[in-house]
Structure 1
C-alpha cells in the first residue's frame, strides 16, 4: 500500500498538465485550446430593428441574407426576446418596471392569456409541458401535435417559437383545433405580419433548417433609477449627441433599417453593420461619449453600467443555450449595438469560438 500512497500524494501535489504559473492572473481564455472536442461556435449577427423599416417594405429582400445564415448551419438560434420566466417576472414587478413590462412583455402576456381558453395552463405550467413535449418529440409529428406545441409555446411566453411550429405546418393546417382557438390562430397570423427580425430572420431560418424553436435570450431587468430621467434628458440634449447623429458615418448605422430596399442593398447593409469598424464606431459613438465627458450626477457612467449589465445578462442566457450544444453551432440575432459587446464577452468563454460574421456574409 505504501507505493500507492506515495503515488497518490505525488498526484495531489503535482500541478495539472498545462497549468500556468499560479502567480499569473487567471484568464478564462487560457482554456480555449484545452477542452475535449471541437469548440462551440457562436456567431453574432448584428441587425437593424426591422420595426424601423418603411411602410410597405418587402421582407423578400432578406433572402440572400437567409441563404448565408443557413450556410452557417446553426443548431440553435438565439434571439433578442424575453424568456417566459423573464416576462412573468417583469409582469409581476410591473409596478417597478411599468414601461418595460408593457413594451416587452405585454403582447406575449396577451397571447398567453388567449391560450388559456384551450390549454388551461399558466406560464410556468406551460413551460414545463413544453420541455416534456420536446423531450418526447417524434421525428414526424402530426399537424395536431405541431398545433398543440405552438399553443404551448404561446402559453409559455414564447410566441416566436410558436411561429416556428405554425410555419412548419402546411398552410391548410394552420387552423383552429382543440389546442388553438380561432382567436389565437388569427392573432398568430397578425403577430407574424409584424416587421421584426425575430420573425422574419430567426423563425424563418429555423423553419428552413428544420429546427423546432428559437431561443429567447433578452433581459430587461437592469434597474434604472427614475430620479435619473431628467439628468439623462439634459445630458442627451447637450451638443455632443446632435453632432454624433449628424456624422455621416454614424448616420449610416442609425438609419440602417431604411437601407434595406433591395436584396443587394440589404446584404451590403448587414455586411457593414457586422464589420469590426462599424462595431467600434457604434460603441465609441454611443457609449464612450457617455464616459469621457462630465454628466449630471454621473448619469453617463450610470447609463453605461446598466448597458453592460444588460449585455452581460443576455450573454449569460446565450451561454446557457450554448451549454446545450457543446461543440456545435449557435447563431445569435440581436440589435447591432449589442454585437461588439457580445463578441468581446463571448470571446472570454472557455470553449467558445466566436465566428467572424462579416466573413460568413461575404461568401
Structure 2
C-alpha cells in the first residue's frame, strides 16, 4: 500500500512538472500568466472647438495633425455629436430636449423621412443593413451609396451620410435625383470643409483618407433633462465670480491659436492640449476648484459637476460600445478638451483597454 502511495506521489509530481514546462510563459504585457491580451487602444484627442476661428480657419492649419493621426491608423473614429438613436429618444420628449433638437440632423432627416414615407425606426434599420453591406463589399456602386445616404439622413446620421457622399463620383453627385437639391448642397459644403468644425475638419477628413465607411457619434446629452430645469437658469450667476477665464493655461491656448494661424499650423496647440500639464490643470482649475472646492457649499455648482460627470460617463459608454466593433483595434475620439481628463481616467480602469496619447504616436 505504501509503495502504491509513493508511486502515485512521484507520478503526480512528474506530471505537474511536465504540465508546467509545457505551459505558455508569462507575458509582462498581461496580468495572467500564459495568456496574451491584445488590448484595444483608445486615443482621446482633446481639441478646441474650431468654430471660434471663423474666417481665420483653413484646412492647412490641420495638415500636420491629420498626417500624424494617419500614422495611428484608427479603425474607429468617434465624433462629438449625438447618435441618431439619441436624437430619436430626445424627439420623443421634445419639450424637455427642445434646445438640442434645432439642428441639421433633424431638419434634413425629417425631409428624408417624408420623401421616403418611412419612420425613423424603419429608416434606422434599413440604413444599418445597407451600411453593413457596404462595409463588407470591395466595390460599391454609386447608386447603392446614394440609397444609403438617403436612409442615413432619414435616421439622423448626417456625418456618416456626408462620408458616403464623398465617395460618390462628382459627376454622379451633380446629376443624381435621389437626394433633394438643398440637402445635396449641404453635403457638398460638409465634404469641402468650408467651416471651422473639428468633426469635419479632422474626423471626416481622416475617415475619408483612410477609406472608412462610417463615423461613430459618441456624445451624450440625455442628462440635459435635469440640467435644463435645475442648473441652466442660474449657472451663469453662480459662476460670475469665477476667475477661470484668467487661468494661465487657457491664456496659453489663445496664444497658441494666434501663433498657429500665423504659422499655418495648429499642431503645437494640439500638442499642448493633449499634454499631461494641460489635462491636470484643466481638471483641477476648471472642475475641482470651480465647482467642488468652494468656500461654501453651493448646490447649483455641485449639481453642474454631477451632471458633467454623468455626461462623461455616457460618452465613455458610447466609446466603449463603438470599440466592440473592432476588439483589439485602435479608437480615435475627437472631443472638446475638458472631457479628456475624465475619459482617460475611466478608460484606465477598463479591462482590455490601453489609453494612448498624441505624444505616444508622435514618438513612433
d(CA) in 1 for partners of 2:140 and 2:59?
A: 29
- 1:310-321 aligned at under 5 Å gives the runs 310-321=311-322
Aligned to 1:307: 308
Q: Secondary structure at the match of 2:217?
A: strand
Aligned to 2:281: 281
Aligned to 1:130: 127
Instruction: State the shift of 1:307 in Å.
Output: 0.5
Further displaced range: 119-128 or 300-309: 119-128
Instruction: State the shift of 1:52 in Å.
Output: 1.4
Further displaced range: 195-204 or 304-313: 195-204
Aligned to 1:220: 221
| Contact 2:78-2:334 at 8 Å conserved across structures | yes
Matched, 1:64 2:76: no
Aligned to 1:33: 31
Q: Secondary structure at the match of 1:218?
A: coil
- Say if 1:259 and 1:128 are closer, same or farther in 2 by CA, change over 3 A: farther
Q: For each residue in 1:2-22, what CA deviation from the matched residue of structure 2 results, as whole angstroms up to 9, or x when unmatched?
A: xxxxxxxxxxxxxxxxxxxxx
| Contact 2:231-2:304 at 8 Å conserved across structures | no
d(CA) in 1 for partners of 2:212 and 2:262?
A: 28
- 1:41-60 aligned at under 5 Å gives the runs 41-60=41-60
Q: Secondary structure at the match of 1:354?
A: strand
| Contact 2:113-2:120 at 8 Å conserved across structures | no
Aligned to 2:292: 291
TM-score norm. by structure 1 comes to 0.83
d(CA) in 1 for partners of 2:113 and 2:261?
A: 40
TM-score norm. by structure 2 comes to 0.83
| Contact 2:62-2:265 at 8 Å conserved across structures | no
Q: Secondary structure at the match of 1:54?
A: helix
Instruction: State the shift of 1:356 in Å.
Output: 2.0
Equivalent pairs counted in the alignment come to 327
d(CA) in 2 for partners of 1:259 and 1:51?
A: 17
The alignment yields a C-alpha RMSD, in angstroms, of: 2.3
- Say if 1:310 and 1:149 are closer, same or farther in 2 by CA, change over 3 A: same
d(CA) in 2 for partners of 1:155 and 1:126?
A: 6
- 1:70-109 aligned at under 5 Å gives the runs 70-102=70-102, 106-109=103-106
Instruction: State the shift of 1:177 in Å.
Output: 2.7
Matched, 1:234 2:237: yes
d(CA) in 2 for partners of 1:224 and 1:69?
A: 35
| Contact 1:232-1:296 at 8 Å conserved across structures | no
Matched, 1:347 2:363: no
Higher Cα radius of gyration: 2
Q: For each residue in 1:294-339, what CA deviation from the matched residue of structure 2 results, as whole angstroms up to 9, or x when unmatched?
A: 4575212111110000000010000001111111111111111101
Aligned to 2:148: 149
Instruction: State the shift of 1:142 in Å.
Output: 1.1
| Contact 2:40-2:323 at 8 Å conserved across structures | yes
Aligned to 2:164: 165
Aligned to 2:212: 211
Aligned to 2:6: none
Q: Secondary structure at the match of 2:165?
A: helix
Q: Secondary structure at the match of 1:261?
A: helix
Match of 1:113 among 99, 110, 115: 110
- 1:316-331 aligned at under 5 Å gives the runs 316-331=317-332
| Contact 1:50-1:257 at 8 Å conserved across structures | no
Q: For each residue in 1:213-268, what CA deviation from the matched residue of structure 2 results, as whole angstroms up to 9, or x when unmatched?
A: 10001111112153444542222111xx2x33123322224676655415664000
Q: Secondary structure at the match of 2:80?
A: strand
Gaps of 5+ in 1: 1-30
- Say if 1:254 and 1:114 are closer, same or farther in 2 by CA, change over 3 A: farther
d(CA) in 1 for partners of 2:150 and 2:296?
A: 48
| Contact 2:60-2:265 at 8 Å conserved across structures | no
| Contact 1:73-1:329 at 8 Å conserved across structures | yes
d(CA) in 2 for partners of 1:228 and 1:88?
A: 24
Aligned to 2:3: none
d(CA) in 2 for partners of 1:267 and 1:66?
A: 9
Gaps of 5+ in 2: 1-28
| Contact 1:218-1:314 at 8 Å conserved across structures | yes
d(CA) in 1 for partners of 2:94 and 2:295?
A: 32
